[in-house]
Amino acid sequence: MVEDSRPLDGVWVSLDLETTGLSADDDQIIEVGAVKFQGRQTLDTFQRLVNPHQRLSSFTTRYTGITQEEVDAAQPFSKVAIDLVPFIGSAPIVGHNIAFDLGFLASKGVRLSNPRSDTWDLAFVLLPGRPEYALAKIAASLGITHPRPHRAFEDAQVTRDLFLKLADLAAGLDVSTLAEMERLAARSSWVLSYLLGGLQSHGATRGTRSLPLSTGRQAVGTEAPSSQVGVTGLDIQALRERFKHTRALRANQTVRKIDVGQVDALLREGSPLAGAMAGFEQREEQIAMARAVAEAINQGKRLIVEAGTGVGKSMAYLLPAALYALANNARVVVSTNTINLQDQLLTKDVPALVTALAGAEDVAAGELRYTQLKGRANYLCLRRWSHLRAGDTLTADEARLLSKVLVWLGSTATGDRGELNMAHRNAAAPWDRLSAQGAQGCDGVNGVCFLRAARDRAAAAHLVIVNHALLMSDLLAGRALIPDHDILIVDEAHHLEEEATRHLGFELGQGRFDDHLQMLGGERGLLGRVATAFRVASVADTRRETALDAVARITSLLPALRDRIAGMFAVLGGLVTEAAADNSRARQETRITSATRRQPGWSRLEIEWENVDVSLAQLHKELAALSSSLEGLEEADLTDYEGLLIETANILQQNEELKQRLTEFIPQPDDDGIYWVRMAGRSGGLTLHAAPLHVGEQLEKLLFGQKKTVILTSATLSTDETFDHIRARTGFDDADELLLGSPFDYPRAALLCVPQDMPEPTSWAYPTAVEQAITDSTVAAGGRTMALFTSHASLQAAASAIRGDLQARGFNVLAQGVDGPPHRLLQTFLDNPRSVLLGTASFWEGVDLAGDSLKVLLLARLPFSVPTEPVFEARSEQYEDSFNEYAVPQAILRIRQGFGRLIRTKTDRGVVVILDRRIVSRGYGKKFLRSLPRVTFKTCNLHELSREIQAWTTAAHP
């Protein structure tokens, strides 16, 4: 028994383990640390090393500081457990991700049934926007020192201190919030159930909510105000008051043109803009671009602009756009691809512009209003949140996220998911059931709708910042998502074709059908809730019978439909497996061509599809009948009536979408479509994919042709010094062109070095040569090195090969997908200069490592697309010379992005090493070189690479 009837005043044990790995079944415990405490008083401690009877990896030793000699001299866990179990006794246990520690103990025979709590969950809920929830990071953010991370006893001590701090925060929540969190926890298997129950009962018995684990300070205990009604005691009025109500813009009838001379003047030294921006520099390239943008807006023309690194293209288009919007009370939409650029615009560039324009002469009166607008899935739907929390049972993930949102609702004015740190996939999974994506037809709760508020802000803004995904979604929604606008600026336009391809096609996973049917007939499915609501509601018997009959008919359809869907995917899986075997290549993706559809097995698939199609049509008919039975009952006392009505409509829509996409994929493919199937590894789950062969015609019809002015810009739009490729791919015709180089002095800033004795990328010796080049470069530069790969497999192989040697020399090896997520790797790289970072995919662009943080950039190979990738393969077939006309231009755009990671400011200096000699040995290599900035260029032998890097990076700036 716990020593005190009120658990928060009793004895707790903080526990932490160090292990050889993450698998409780395969890895071993090497250290146990525990602290027994009551309030802030430490009662006892436990610290033991454990002999795993195996060799420790170099990573484990480096990560924990525990040596092989230390564990060899320690007792085995069976001996340690004899003392550990009585130390813990029956006290409640707290840990940071405690399920990990208890899982390891259980796998070694120590199964504890003690109450437990988790500081990770507490931090996740109580600090909803913190960027990280790792023990060291969250402790530091709360002022808790952690001198020796990744040692069990020290981690246990810090966990204890963190628990006390977080318990104080929880106890300080208002009564209604704490009560609701406790109720959610009680309806689930959530690890915080015991703690929240203790907090709730402790406050209730004392009448006020003292901080039970602290030194006796008291939080202000107040009753929920009378205005807190409607949704779980939320103060709806307070939420409503956070919304800024501004009238929608009404464009002037008479259009005033931008004063191009004023644009020019504002971008020069001594201007209000120069005073508003830290480190402002007058750049002629920026002025030229801004003038071109202003002229395009004035004349209602299209413009494509490439502006090299350092031009300041964002301000070059924002300034004329803002002047036009203010003068005409009009709206300009700016679309970007990356979050990084959106953040730069919203937190740096546009605020500086607002300040500058407020102090400038001859600028239209009124403050420039700007906002960000996202897709429906990014905004919380209060009604869906309320509906989920009302369920009789919840999963631990649902209870955790519902509680996090509840805390967040005390401060958010936007309901934007971007304000939350979702931490990992499992923790974020329930968001799909809370977002406005599934709330079509919802009108909010008592006038509070975050999505509508976001759209109202956009309707009142002069500048609206969106991303390419929303821009494409708006096209498909008939331009109903983004407020009307005549001026569109597309930054990072080199991604426009890719995003259009994604949105104008579809992805239909086998699991999507399972989810669809689960929403109907699962444990908490729609059918069960409708039946329960009608059985207890005061409605006419005939209406009740109609609804319950519809529920019964749908329920009877589901088993056969599940079987038919499974049969259809089984046949498709057999076809895919056969096709992969015939091609003699192990592929996860199999393209479905006209030749595939002529195979005998395809006829069998069409028969299976027809059975599914008939069943989905029948399901649609019965769902429509169920929807009709719900209509007109607004005054009845049906539980969650509006929620049931909305969910039924959404499932109807999803059912029709599934039916239509299956029909397109199997019997009725578009002539202009690309189709393929992806098999998900060992699980064998199939996903159907479709994409348009060409996007240009649809972009012209749905996007470009609808606007007065469209401007495409990026740092990388040209290939071989022309825009021909990007214009052909996007259909952006009849546009003026402007190709601006960088203001940086590249010959002095950057050395491009190509080892001419590198083996060919197809050679068995190539990986070893790449690994040697990375090692030599890292040592020569003293760290500050990044290597970019075109595949995760080659990256991970290189990381394994170089790690031991470089670590022995005191260098840190950071590999994407191995040592943490990209944002954490970047921060570690910046914090520890003696590092080499190995990246792929996202690291080729959007990474800004200015100054001395990056000295050497290695590009492992020319970034050609995989020839068998379905979309690339299909589009390649449209060219007579697909390699030179399509593959090479695509690769040039990618290598230019990668190259741009090195020189970010005018004072940067470094070396780019291309470890692919084809850039000098093949004829097409000249196109790559012509597309790169005019740097100092050298070829060398591999063994000379260190010398070249040292000479360049240590030389004084000329």
- Residue among 525, 614, 522 at smallest CA distance from 568: 614
Biggest alpha carbon distance in the chain? 91
CB 32 within 8 A of CB 152: yes
Q: Which tokens belong to 332?
A: 């300009």
- Distance (Å) of CA 166 to CA 45, 96, 126, 129: 21, 12, 8, 15
What SS3 class is residue 81?
helix
CB atoms within 10 A of CB 938: 15
What is the per-residue pLDDT for 424? 79
339-351: b or e for each residue (b if 16 or more CB lie within 10 Å)? eebbeebeeebbe
CB 501 within 8 A of CB 472: no
Exposure of 868 in the CB half-sphere (CA atoms within 13 A): 12
CA distance 525 to 497: 39
CB 643 within 8 A of CB 574: no
CB burial class (10 A; 0-12, 13-18, 19+) of residue 258? buried
Query: Rg (Cα) of the chain, in Å, rounded?
Result: 31
What SS3 class is residue 265?
helix
Segments of the chain scoring below 70 in pLDDT:
1-8, 201-233, 365, 441, 523, 580-587, 635, 681-684, 956-958
Q: Which tokens belong to 467?
A: 């991303």
What is the per-residue pLDDT for 359? 82
CB 652 within 8 A of CB 620: yes
Contacts of 216 (CB under 8 A, 6+ apart): 210
CB 853 within 8 A of CB 785: no
CA distance 411 to 770: 51
CA distance 633 to 651: 19
- Distance (Å) of CA 789 to CA 211, 330, 796, 798: 52, 45, 10, 10
CB atoms within 10 A of CB 951: 12
> Which residues are 49's β-sheet partners?
31
- Residue among 220, 209, 115 at smallest CA distance from 167: 209
Q: DSSP letter at 418?
A: G
Sign of the four-CA dihedral 667, 668, 672, 675: negative
CA distance 890 to 194: 56
Cα-based torsion angle of the residue sequence 478, 493, 459, 342 in order, rounded to the nearest 10 degrees? 130
User: Which residue do the tokens 């393969």 mark?
Assistant: 873
CA distance 259 to 890: 38
Q: Which tokens belong to 783?
A: 């760290």
The pair phi, psi for residue 108, each rounded to 5°, is: -100, 10
What is the per-residue pLDDT for 203? 55
CA distance 834 to 627: 64
* Run of H or E residues at 914: strand 910-914
* Run of H or E residues at 350: helix 350-358
CB 61 within 8 A of CB 83: no
CB 725 within 8 A of CB 888: no
Q: Which tokens belong to 452?
A: 């509508």
Q: Which tokens belong to 805?
A: 């040697």
CA distance 314 to 318: 6
Q: DSSP letter at 346?
A: I
The amino acid present at 608, given as its one-letter code, is: E
- Residue among 311, 236, 240, 172 at smallest CA distance from 739: 311
What is the per-residue pLDDT for 7? 55
Q: Which tokens belong to 806?
A: 């470089």
Cα-based torsion angle of the residue sequence 615, 621, 627, 630 in order, rounded to the nearest 10 degrees? -110
- Distance (Å) of CA 558 to CA 95, 226, 616, 620, 624: 43, 46, 10, 12, 16
Q: Which tokens belong to 891?
A: 């690769």
- Write the pLDDT tens digit of every residue in 167-208: 989 988 888 888 899 999 998 989 999 999 888 766 544 444
CB 117 within 8 A of CB 137: no
* Run of H or E residues at 185: helix 175-186
CB atoms within 10 A of CB 9: 15
User: How do beta strands 12-19 and 29-38 pair?
Assistant: antiparallel
